[in-house]
Amino acid sequence: MRVDLIQYTPDPEKVVAAAARLCYSADPVPELLERLDDEKVANFVRKLRDMGHLSPFEHVSFQFSIDGVSRALSHQLVRHRIASYSQRSQRYVKENGFDYVIPPSVQRKPEAMERFEKAMAYLQEEYQALQSMVPAEDARFVLPNACTTSLMATFNARSLLNFFEHRTCLRAQWEIRGLAERMLDLVREVAPNLFSEAGPTCVTLGVCHQGAYSCGRLQTLKGKKT
């Protein structure tokens, strides 16, 4: 997996602070921006976050390139609808010799690994054979979820906070959790105040919404505090 932050709104935290300040000021945005120093921006962003007033966060966006992830991951990723996606097409790009993601649980068991790789080899052979019989867009129907893909994804900051809340949770599927953790590291480098409290609710709010499906992490965290 490779994840890069390829573009983002310049001075994202300052933009968020100015957008929020505009709601209570008759001055135009350029003048508001001039009067915002780093300390004021940091305080304003923290105040907005603590109040849950997150609509100003929607004015800044972050664009990622994501490579070497599985189609199983991309199917989960697009469930986060307040974002924009572009993905390598299996209709127009042939997947001859496709790479694939191997789950850690498979890698740990030699017998499972043997069966997995055998299945990938079989599907590759059948995919190539089908291309001589039907259009590539129809041959792709035999390609596995393990097949790797590349995407470009653009999120606003508010949508990213929601994404991190759900996908850095220990109950999130391992591959998309790894993606979320890398994305969070990248945005914290350029907007530390916006994302300082990003993460699963057990960590950020001290609550868990998983009910009977909870991983138990919250109890561990509470135990550390006592």
Q: What is the pLDDT of residues 68-107, one digit of tens each?
A: 999 999 999 999 999 999 999 999 999 999 999 999 999 9
Annotated domain spans of the chain: 6-85+148-225, 92-142
Q: Evaluate if residue 50 carries a pLDDT over 90.
A: no
Instruction: Give residue for tokens 């490779």.
Output: 2
Residues annotated in a binding site: 55, 76-81, 87-91, 140, 156-158, 162, 167
Q: What is the pLDDT of residue 219?
A: 74
Q: What are phi and psi of 157, to 5 degrees?
A: -65, -35
**Largest interatomic CA distance in the chain:** 69
Q: What is the pLDDT of residue 27?
A: 66
Which of 167, 171, 182, 217 is an active site residue? 167
CATH of 6-85+148-225, picked from 3.40.50.720, 3.40.640.10, 3.40.50.300, 3.30.1360.170, is 3.30.1360.170
Q: What is the pLDDT of residues 14-45, one digit of tens each?
A: 999 888 887 666 667 777 777 888 888 888 89
167 has catalytic annotation: yes
Q: Evaluate if residue 226 carries a pLDDT over 60.
A: no
Confidence of residue 5 (pLDDT cuts 50, 70, 90): very high
Q: What is the pLDDT of residues 110-163, one digit of tens each?
A: 999 999 999 999 999 999 999 999 999 999 999 999 999 999 999 999 999 999
